[in-house]
Amino acid sequence: MATYESLVFTVKRLSPELICPEKPTPREYKLLSDIDDQETCRFQVPIIQFYQKKNSVVDVLKMDPVKVIREALSKTLVFYYPFAGRLREGAGRKLAVDCTGEGVLFIEADADVTLEQFGDALYPPFPCAEELLFDVPGSAEILNTPLLLIQVTRLKCGGFILALRHNHTICDAAGFVQFMTALGEIARGASVPSIHPVWQRELLNARDPPNITCTHREYDDVADMKETMIPIAEIVQRSFFFGPAEILAMRRLVPPQFCKCSTFEVLTAFLWRSRSRSLELDPEEEVRLLCVINARGNFNPSLPLGYYGNAFAFPAALTTAGKLCQSPIGYALDLVMKTKQVFSEEYMKSVADLMVTRGRPHFTVVRTFFVSDLTRAGFGSVDLGWGRPAYGGPARGGSVNSFYIPFKNKKGEKGIVVPVWLPESAMEKFALQLGMLKNNDQLVTENTSLAIKSAL
């Protein structure tokens, strides 16, 4: 049997087709919010879900995942009809969905591989990922193309892989999980989603007149951006597993005053410092940490249940590479915790105002580490009629961002997998940093090094 790293297989695909809403839907022009249409969100997000075969032979014969999902998708688009439209750009780079009902891209496929051949540890990067989510020529553009691409690939074992790619301007992780949950409910026989989708993008629009009231170092204009970008060809991706032993080893290095810090905070502090050390940056250079924070519960009143637009911000922690890399971990941890504390409803409004004032900029990517916690997003709970997926979540990471993905290893331990992208030389240093957590120049635990190596 091929190992996970060397697994190669063939995928046979039919021609892409457009799936339209099952019933007529409103023909209208729906503006996005000023959080939706910032440059940061103008990209395609790949998601992948691995499902095991049905236990019953009768179920296997009756339920073709391609047929079930295709039909459910058409019904779900009646409720989420903006997905069947096309994105347009107007004055001031303002984005809107032209609800044309043209449909979303759908690909039927078969692969000569079993789910078992992927191994016990399903996590990014996945072998032959480009075959499991085929990039239909021209479909990756942000404007005037389908807003959703879905490929359903049957496996030899009776399981299947559902791969999706959505335009981030339409929704964030929470919003897309809401859509996928509705798809699953309808695939299992429901006539309507349990949560009705809510548009109301005006709730996250800029004020009139705009009034930037908060400091937003995440959108600083760094002059040497082009000169410091790392070529994609030089970057490699690995995933690292952090279970109870690894988190405990990190917590042992945390000063007493931070004993109540969350797992997210302590893990982020260690990853940020280790990543910066591995890149061997000039000590005087600025480095940034951006933590994605879901705003849904930070509004008064809260955003309506069913709101599926982008509702997040990412306040920045800022320091110098020298200070971050040379200081005890408490320094980085304090910055992480303070970054989260500045977030508020006013902060979100200030971001929206900045967008219309400064032309909807992208966040600063130079020497930036961008972290998004997906451990509670819900990708792993999407049931299409085959139960929960063996893996559900991002198909890959990015050059400056990492996702925290819930994961259970082959020993049954629950933890977090973090995909990381770095230049190859820096990746080796990064793995060594994580594998050698030090306390008074001594290894904290041998298990930490071994566990991390096993996830490579």
Say what the pLDDT of residue 59 is: 55
Share of the chain above pLDDT 70, in %: 90
Q: What is the mean pLDDT of residues 223-227?
A: 53
Phi, psi of 402 (to 5 degrees): -130, 145
Closest among 293, 236, 286 to 268, alpha carbons compared: 293
Say what the pLDDT of residue 58 is: 46
Say what the pLDDT of residue 229 is: 53
Phi, psi of 321 (to 5 degrees): -60, -40
Q: Which residues contact 46 (CB under 8 A, 6 or more apart)?
A: 129, 133, 163, 164, 165, 394, 395, 396
Active-site choice (98, 110, 220, 383): 383
135 is catalytic: no
For 311, the 3-state DSSP assignment is coil
Q: What is the chain's mean pLDDT, rounded?
A: 89
pLDDT of 425 above 50? yes
Q: Which residues contact 205 (CB under 8 A, 6 or more apart)?
A: 33, 34, 352
Active-site choice (166, 168, 334, 353): 168
Say what the pLDDT of residue 226 is: 45
For 313, the 3-state DSSP assignment is strand
Beta-carbon-side half-sphere exposure of residue 59 (alpha carbons within 13 Å): 12
Euclidean distance between CA atoms 401 and 371, whole angstroms: 6
Strand partners, 97: 30, 87
Tens of pLDDT, residues 77-99: 999 999 999 999 999 999 999 99
pLDDT of 3 above 60? no
Tens of pLDDT, residues 230-249: 556 678 888 899 999 999 99
pLDDT of 348 above 70? yes
Q: What is the mean pLDDT of residues 125-152?
A: 95
Q: What is the mean pLDDT of residues 317-333?
A: 96
The pTM score is 0.91
Tens of pLDDT, residues 36-70: 999 999 999 999 999 999 775 445 546 899 999 99
- Report residue 342's pLDDT band, with 50, 70 and 90 as the boundaries: confident
Euclidean distance between CA atoms 134 and 131, whole angstroms: 5
168 is catalytic: yes
Tokens 């095991």 — which residue? 52
Tens of pLDDT, residues 277-316: 999 999 999 999 999 999 998 888 899 999 999 999 999 9
Q: What does the angle CA 354 – CA 356 – CA 357 come to, to the nearest 5 degrees?
A: 60
Q: What is the mean pLDDT of residues 118-142?
A: 90
Q: What is the dihedral of CA 416, 419, 423, 425, to 10 degrees?
A: 40
